[in-house]
Every structure is written in structure tokens, then in C-alpha cells.
Amino acid sequence: MAITPAGAIEAGLEQARLVAAMYADAEAALLERIAARVGKDLDNDDGNDWAAKRLAEVTQLRKEAEAIVRRLESVAKKAAQAAVLDTWAEGMDAAVRGAVLQVADAKLRKRLERVLQDARNLGAKRGISAGQGVAELAAQAVSLVTSVHEGALRAVDDIYRNVVAETAGRVLVGAETRREAAQRALDRLTAQGITGFTDSANPSRTWNMASYVEMAMRTATARAAVDGHLSTLRDAGIGLVSVSRLPYTCDRCARWEGEVLALSGSAGTRVEENPATGVQVFVQVAGTVAEARLAGLLHPNCGHSLNAYLPGVSRPAPVVRSKATYEDAQRQRYLERKIRENKRRAAVALDDEARAKAAAKIANYQRQLKGLTKAARLPR
């Protein structure tokens, strides 16, 4: 099905979500391995011996964790690369569709479609060669995504050692059973998942493996959708785009809403030709796409998109009604976070009672999420 420029970005974000889900599953599997080792011999009354035995098993745990990460690596590399390449192709398709949809005149529409389709096919051949354009972007995404693997293995080690130390320390004080102490330590030290990953753009914030991968993939796929789109427009000789308008907007993007941007050149008034009539028209250009991007437009999680601007033909950008409101989207993220949090709880549960408690919470949040996505028609 043909796709619009905004739709291409959304398709990319959905792909990013799928790659992140692989990491969330692997994270849960790693936490399960930690809990399985911590849970051994908990109720045997051999005091300090328990901690010594557990620490002697660090190497085995490491091997189990490595097996999980290797399995993840083989699928995640392919998935991350495919996500970027597919989204870039969606962006190219969107270039054709987004321009053609604006034209009422049948003759011009046909001519435009042919030119754009040729540009799209040319770009598809050229863009996938190694070391340039989308291939470069895909390689970067793969390298960011797989960069968490070593850190995850180190973190598994750290979490395990800390849980054992904390459990042993608590028992010496003697108020609670070793099992209770172990569960408490596991819950506390894994509440945020396998964490410690930072993004060079914002080093003060740390992520867990799944959220880091989701952030990296969202950025890469959104970029691929826009770059695929723009490369096709450029090849088709279309040098202007307009910025979509949203029912709600972030402060950083407000100044660009509905404005016309150029792929190259400078801001100001230009004389351009109406492609339908050949008549010269004035166009007010607010800046280049590169300038707008540097100033924040199309930042991570930006809802804006670009579309071809055909002088004298394109109408002012309509307000794109997104299917969901900002509040709905926030609520969706919150519920997803809660589900992941309780999946981690279930992964480190040392007994059926703790597992059932987490499972009940997961089911409850999933029910709420289902109701919300149905009512608000959010992407799932």
C-alpha cells in the first residue's frame, strides 16, 4: 500500500519497537538466569557458605549470559539493518505519493508520478551501495544496537555479585529470612533493568538495554524515512518541502510549522515555476532542511514530517490530525513501561507467589493498554 511521508516515519518507529522488543526479551532472559543462580540453596541453613558457593558460580552464569547475548546478536543485527533499509524504501515511496496526492490536474499528476517513480528506482539502486547514504545509516544503527552487548554482560556480573553480597549482609543482621532478603535485593537491583547505557548526545541520562536500543533505532529509522524521502525528491528535481502542522507541537518545532524549506540554497523569497502552468510564482523559504534540523526540527520523537512543496500547486500544509492525542501517547508509554517493569519482576521472582503477583500486574496493565489502543487507535 502506498504510504504518506508521515506514515513512513510511523512505519519506521514501529520497526524500532520490534527491535527493542528483542532486547527486552533478552534482558528478561538474563535476569532469569541471575535469579535462578541466586535462588539456589536459599533455604538450606549454611550461612556464609551460601554466598561463597554463589560467588563460585560467576563463571557459569557468565557462560549462560554469553549464550543469550550471542543468540540475540545474530537476530538483532539483521533486524536493525532491515529496519533502516525498509524504512528508507518507505520514505522513497512516500516521496512519490506525498507529491502526487497534492495534484488535481490529471496530466501533471501523471508526469510528476513518472519523474518521481524514475527517481525512486534510481535511488533504490544507488542508495544501498556500501559506505554511503542509507547503507551508512544502517551500519551505524547496527553498531549502536550491538554496542550494548558487552555492557550487558558486565552488568549481569555486577548485578549478580551485588545481589549475593547484599543478601549475605542482610542475613547477618538477622531480621528476615535469606529468601526474603534475596528477593528484596533482586527487586531493588533489577527494577530499572540491565542499565548503565548512555547516549553521547545526552550523557547525563542512563538507559537500560531495551530503552537504549529503542532510542537508537527510533532515531535511525526516523532519519531513514526522511532521508529516503528527500533523496527521491532531489533526484526528481523537487527542491522545496513544507513542514507538516500538528494539533499539538513541541516548542522547538513551533517556528517551522507549515513553513516552506529548501533542500539547498538560502532562506528568503524565491521565484519558482508552477509545474502545472509554467507561471512564475514567489515562494517564501524559511531556511534549508539542514538548518531546520540543526535547530531541532525532526528531533527524536518529533511528530513532524516533510512533504514536497510544488510552487503554485501545493496548498498550505493542512493540520495533520494524528489518530491519537498527546496524552494518549504518553499514557501508552506509561503502561508499556509498567508492563516491562513487571516483566522484570516476574523474571527475578524466586517463588510462585512473587511470580503470580507480577503476572497479575502485567495482565492488569496489558488490559488497560489494550483498551487504550482500541479506543484511541494507537499503533501497537
Smallest distance, Zn ion to C-beta of residue 343, A: 31
Q: Which is nearer to Zn ion, 109 or 326 (CB)?
A: 326
Choose between 91 and 193: whose C-beta lies nearer to Zn ion.
Answer: 91
CB 69 within 8 A of CB 149: yes
Q: In this structure, are residues 355 and 201 in contact, taking their beta carbons and an 8 Å threshold?
A: no
Nearest CA among 13, 31, 11 for reference residue 23: 31
CB of 9 to Zn ion, least distance (A): 11
Tell me, residue by residue from 233 to 272, as one string, x for binding to Zn ion by CB under 5 A and - for no binding: -----------------x--x-------------------
Residue 183 or 307 having the CB closest to Zn ion: 307
Closest separation in Å from C-beta 214 to Zn ion: 18
Whichever of 133 and 296 has its CB closer to Zn ion, that residue is 296
Pick the stretch among 9-17, 88-96, 270-278, 296-304 that binds Zn ion (CB under 5 A): 296-304
Stretch that binds Zn ion, among 62-70, 105-113, 234-242, 302-310 (CB under 5 A): 302-310
What's the closest the beta carbon of residue 253 comes to Zn ion, in angstroms? 3
| Phi, psi angles (nearest 5°) of residue 280 | -80, 135
Of the ranges 49-57, 105-113, 301-309, 368-376, which one interacts with Zn ion (CB under 5 A)?
A: 301-309
Whichever of 170 and 229 has its CB closer to Zn ion, that residue is 229
For residue 306, the minimal CB distance to Zn ion (Å) is 12
306 contacts Zn ion (rule: CB under 5 A): no
Q: Residue 116 or 253: which CB sits closer to Zn ion?
A: 253
Nearest approach, Cβ of residue 240 and Zn ion (Å): 20
Is 302 a binding residue for Zn ion by CB under 5 A? The answer is yes
Cell numbers for 94: 512516500
Per-residue mark of binding to Zn ion, 135-174 (x: CB under 5 A): ----------------------------------------
Q: What is the 3-state secondary structure (H, E, C) of the chain?
A: CCCCHHHHHHHHHHHHHHHHHHHHHHHHHHHHHHHHHHCCCCCCCCCHHHHHHHHHCHHHHHHHHHHHHHHHHHHHHHHHHHHHHHHHHHHHHHHHHHHHCCCCCHHHHHHHHHHHHHHHHHHHHHHCCCCCHHHHHHHHHHHHHHCHHHHHHHHHHHHHHHHHHHHHHHHHHCCCCHHHHHHHHHHHHHCCCCEEEEECCEEEEEEEHHHHHHHHHHHHHHHHHHHHHHHHHHHCCCCEEEECECCCCCHHHHCCCCCEEECCCCCEEEEEECCCCCCEEEEEEEEEHHHHHHCCCCCCCCCCCEEECCCCCCCCCCECCCCCCHHHHHHHHHHHHHHHHHHHHHHCCCCHHHHHHHHHHHHHHHHHHHHHHHHHCCCC
Shorter beta-carbon distance to Zn ion: residue 82 or 250:
250
Q: How far apart are CA 78 and CA 142, in angstroms?
A: 8
In the complex with Zn ion, the residue whose CB is nearer, 194 or 260, is: 260
Q: How far is the CB of 304 from Zn ion (least distance, A)?
A: 5
CB of 336 to Zn ion, least distance (A): 21
Site membership for Zn ion, residue 320 (CB under 5 A): no
Number of residues in contact with Zn ion, rule: CB under 5 A? 3
User: Smallest distance, Å, CB 329 to Zn ion?
Assistant: 13
Q: Which residue, 23 or 256, has its beta carbon nearer to Zn ion? A: 256
Residues that bind Zn ion (CB under 5 A): 250, 253, 302
